[in-house]
């Protein structure tokens, strides 16, 4: 096997180069080689200083997550940090790309840090249910202060070069990184003294403010353990000697690594990447078609949001509206978003001008003749969308991909309107489209693999999380949403009130309960859908009419001041009038109201999700159980630290989920147990066995 670590002499300074593509992840084998190289440099009497550098596009971007289910290796990252920090000669870290997790911990143990202009550092362990375990929570507050360290370890955010210098995390920014690092190592050796991070005192901090900030982090984490645990460890740096804080950090990190939350977040980490590729066994993946020019049909809320996302990703965009006045309205929306980003300091004026130069507004469809991709984002009505696709087919090239931003309509009916149906698919963005991460890529019956791969590539460039779905009403996310929301309505008739269901699901980890979300989105949207689908509603299905009664009274949610809640005050408030409507629904169905416990609320919602998810898998709508988890986590607020409903079902036991599903059969044919779920329980299998 080739060595992943080499030592190169620059006179009396040694450069230790790490080369473990693609991101120099700290595998057990690499840690052993790095420690051996560090010890060799320390023992070399001809070397007065050293530089730690990396080949490729990045410094060490963290640990090798594939090894997290294995016991710790012979050498841990802390061993490398301790060897560097205790050396009798200076070590300088030359940082480029991303220096994350254990990579940043090694850099902080060095005696100086120099960063390339494109570099960034961070401790993102809390995002996968862990915390730093090689001194990150103890060294970071000594470099940047406890409040900065608290925010960084809890959020896991990356800090760019300019901010890193400002915070004291690196000493300087250099374009000729290794040359400057060698110069600094030699200068420190000549001076005969250098800073040892572990020996630095933590700068004074208002302890009450620190404790309040930590309490806020725990509250915002909504049940996730790692952010608060990492923040608490930063507090140990304020109270304990370095060695004791280091030992406690290591012990807590090992404990978290084996926790259910860490396993769930690692599942989502792998599921995200799995969802972004075609399944194994589908043959050799074709190459993506080039996409440079994108057309948008419709400049409403969704069309404008999609346009902003495309501009941010560097695409040339042409927006087509039905008139100049509607195009002007779209332009105003897009400029307003950029103005807010500028005002918040997230975007410079030059970047805004560059984006807007790449955007053209028109009402002439033939301006899309050279487009590589066109996304239709008009009203959610099939006849109107079919008319657009017929018109596009006569204008664009045959290899131009045609996509519909629909949340539920049949993509096959749109493909029927064009002369090359294999280039048609759905791209279901979530609102606001320039913010929300999930993108459902809907494959029609004739969508070609080349078009799917191209859509996945576009999603990656947009920094969206793609999930491939088949054609059905609601695709993956909205179809599951419809089932678990129906169960919530049924529980209202059974005896619960809206606020009790919201509290139970928020306690489970959702950011907002379904009725609070409904008031935020607007009840009139769901009401319009109910009326549109009334003719096709199964007469044997249980139907709760409370939303109809609310909307008939003009209670459309926050925008009208009243919905499921009263929004007349500073906060949403329980409304006795809503309770009266709920009790009326129970009476009209002849249901004797009873107490619905929070545990039952959660169990029925989860069972509804999992049962429908199993049906989606059996029908081929979802490719993998993990894709369902990705969709629910990134698009519907399912708590990531639980890993998604299918992962959570495996943890609880599919037999228990099935038992709950069977108690719901009387609610109508939509809640009949999935044959796949029954088969898996009988065979003793779990959903994880279906991921590929």
Q: Single out the residue in 469, 496, 527 at which a domain terminates.
A: 469
Beta bridge partners of 173: 115
Asked whether residue 285 carries a pLDDT value surpassing 80, the answer given is no
Question: Is the same domain home to 586 and 564?
Answer: yes
Tens of pLDDT, residue by residue over 448-477, are: 999 999 999 999 999 999 999 999 999 999
Residue 525 lies in a domain: yes
Residue 506 lies in a domain: yes
HSE at residue 53, side-chain half, CA atoms within 13 A, is 25
Q: Which pLDDT belongs to residue 243?
A: 97
Question: Is the same domain home to 480 and 465?
Answer: no
Question: Is the same domain home to 425 and 540?
Answer: no
Question: Is the same domain home to 579 and 680?
Answer: yes
Residue 349 — φ and ψ, nearest 5°? -60, -35
Catalogue the active-site residues: 105, 125
Confidence of residue 548 (pLDDT cuts 50, 70, 90): very high
Residue 685 lies in a domain: yes
Question: Is the same domain home to 105 and 176?
Answer: yes
Question: Is the same domain home to 462 and 438?
Answer: yes
Question: Is the same domain home to 245 and 312?
Answer: no
Q: How far apart are CA 517 and CA 505, in angstroms?
A: 12
Tens of pLDDT, residue by residue over 46-62, are: 999 999 999 999 999 99
| Cα–Cα–Cα angle for 106, 112, 113, rounded to 5 degrees | 70
CA 83 to chain centre: 36
Q: Is the dihedral of CA 272, 276, 280, 282 positive or negative?
A: positive
Residue 297 lies in a domain: yes
Mean pLDDT across 330-351: 91
Residue 286 lies in a domain: no
Can you give the CATH number for the domain in which 686 is found? 1.10.1040.50
Mean pLDDT across 526-553: 87
Question: Is the same domain home to 41 and 146?
Answer: yes
Asked whether residue 198 carries a pLDDT value surpassing 70, the answer given is yes
CA 355 to chain centre: 25
Asked whether residue 434 carries a pLDDT value surpassing 80, the answer given is yes
Residue 432 lies in a domain: yes
Mean pLDDT across 168-175: 97
Question: Is the same domain home to 454 and 577?
Answer: no
Residue 668 lies in a domain: yes
Question: Is the same domain home to 40 and 162?
Answer: yes
Confidence of residue 278 (pLDDT cuts 50, 70, 90): confident
Query: Which residue is listed with tokens 């599919």?
Result: 654
Number of structural domains, the chain?
A: 3
Question: Is the same domain home to 103 and 191?
Answer: yes
Q: How far apart are CA 492 and CA 564, in angstroms?
A: 12
Asked whether residue 96 carries a pLDDT value surpassing 90, the answer given is yes
Residue 486: domain span: 476-692
Can you give the CATH number for the domain in which 391 is found? 3.40.50.720
Average pLDDT score over the chain: 95
Question: Is the same domain home to 347 and 480?
Answer: no
Q: How far apart are CA 130 and CA 67, in angstroms?
A: 14
Can you give the CATH number for the domain in which 183 is found? 3.90.226.10
Which whole-number Å values give the CA distances from 542 to 486, 525, 666, 668, 669, in the listed order? Answer: 9, 21, 9, 6, 9
The tokens for 199 are: 């020996």
Residue 151 lies in a domain: yes
Q: How far apart are CA 90 and CA 69, in angstroms?
A: 35
Mean pLDDT across 100-116: 98
Would you call the peptide bond into 22 cis, given omega within 30 degrees of 0 as the criterion? Answer: yes
3 state SS of 247: helix
């Amino acid at each position: 096997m080739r060595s992943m670590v080499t030592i190169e002499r620059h006179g009396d300074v040694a450069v230790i180069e790490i080369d473990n593509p693609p991101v120099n992840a700290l595998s057990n084998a690499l840690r052993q080689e790095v420690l051996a190289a560090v010890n060799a440099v320390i023992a070399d009497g001809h070397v007065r200083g050293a530089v730690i550098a990396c080949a490729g596009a990045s410094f060490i971007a963290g640990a090798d997550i594939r090894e997290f289910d294995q016991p710790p290796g012979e050498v841990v990252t802390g061993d490398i940090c301790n060897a560097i920090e205790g050396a009798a000669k200076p070590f300088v870290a030359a940082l480029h790309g991303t220096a994350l997790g254990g990579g940043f911990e090694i850099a902080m143990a060095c005696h100086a840090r120099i960063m390339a202009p494109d570099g960034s550092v961070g401790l993102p362990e809390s995002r996968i249910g862990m915390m730093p375990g090689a001194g990150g929570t103890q060294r970071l507050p000594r470099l940047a202060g406890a409040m900065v360290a608290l925010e960084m370890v809890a959020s896991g955010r990356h800090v760019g070069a300019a901010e890193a210098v400002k915070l004291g995390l690196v000493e300087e920014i250099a374009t000729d990184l290794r040359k400057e690092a060698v110069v600094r190592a030699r200068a420190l050796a000549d001076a005969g003294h250098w800073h040892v991070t572990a020996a630095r005192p933590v700068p004074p901090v208002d302890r009450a403010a620190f404790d309040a900030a930590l309490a806020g982090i725990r509250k915002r984490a909504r049940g996730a353990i790692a952010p608060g645990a990492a923040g608490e460890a930063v507090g140990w740096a304020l109270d304990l000697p370095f060695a004791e804080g280091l030992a406690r950090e290591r012990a807590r990190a090992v404990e978290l690594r084996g926790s259910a939350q860490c396993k769930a977040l690692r599942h989502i980490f792998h599921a995200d990447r799995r969802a972004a590729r075609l399944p194994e066994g589908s043959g050799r993946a074709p190459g993506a078609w080039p996409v440079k020019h994108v057309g948008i049909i419709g400049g409403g809320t969704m069309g404008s949001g999609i346009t902003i996302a495309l501009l941010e990703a560097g695409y040339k965009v042409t927006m087509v509206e039905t008139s100049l006045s509607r195009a002007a309205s779209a332009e105003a929306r897009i400029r307003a978003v950029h103005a807010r980003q500028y005002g918040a300091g997230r975007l410079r004026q030059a970047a805004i001008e560059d984006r807007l130069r790449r955007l053209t507004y028109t009402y002439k469809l033939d301006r899309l003749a050279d487009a590589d991709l066109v996304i239709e984002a008009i009203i959610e009505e099939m006849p109107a969308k079919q008319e657009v696709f017929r018109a596009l087919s006569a204008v664009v090239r045959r290899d131009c991909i045609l996509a519909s931003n629909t949340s539920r309509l049949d993509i096959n009916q749109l493909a029927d309107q064009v002369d090359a149906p294999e280039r048609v698919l759905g791209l279901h963005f979530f609102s606001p489209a320039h913010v929300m991460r999930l993108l459902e890529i809907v494959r029609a019956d004739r969508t070609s693999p080349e078009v799917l791969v191209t859509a996945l590539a576009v999603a990656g460039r947009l920094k969206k999380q793609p999930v491939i779905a088949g054609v059905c009403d609601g695709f993956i996310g909205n179809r599951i949403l419809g089932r678990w929301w129906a169960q919530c309505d049924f529980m209202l008739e059974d005896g619960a009130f809206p606020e009790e269901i919201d509290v139970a699901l928020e306690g489970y980890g959702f950011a907002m309960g379904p009725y609070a979300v409904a008031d935020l989105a607007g009840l009139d949207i769901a009401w319009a859908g109910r009326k549109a689908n009334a003719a096709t509603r199964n007469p044997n299905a249980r139907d709760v009419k409370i939303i109809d009664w609310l909307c008939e009274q003009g209670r459309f949610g926050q925008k009208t001041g009243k919905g499921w809640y009263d929004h007349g005050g500073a906060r949403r408030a329980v409304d006795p009038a809503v309770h009266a409507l709920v009790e009326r629904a129970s009476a009209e169905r002849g249901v004797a109201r009873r107490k619905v416990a929070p545990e039952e609320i959660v169990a029925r919602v989860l069972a509804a999700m999992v049962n429908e998810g199993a049906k989606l898998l059996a029908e081929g709508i979802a490719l993998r159980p993990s894709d369902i988890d990705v969709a629910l986590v990134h698009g519907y607020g399912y708590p990531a630290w639980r890993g998604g409903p299918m992962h959570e079902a495996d943890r609880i036991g599919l037999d228990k989920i099935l038992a709950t599903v069977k108690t719901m059969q009387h609610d109508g044919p939509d809640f009949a147990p999935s044959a796949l779920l029954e088969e898996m329980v009988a065979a003793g299998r779990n959903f994880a066995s279906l991921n590929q």
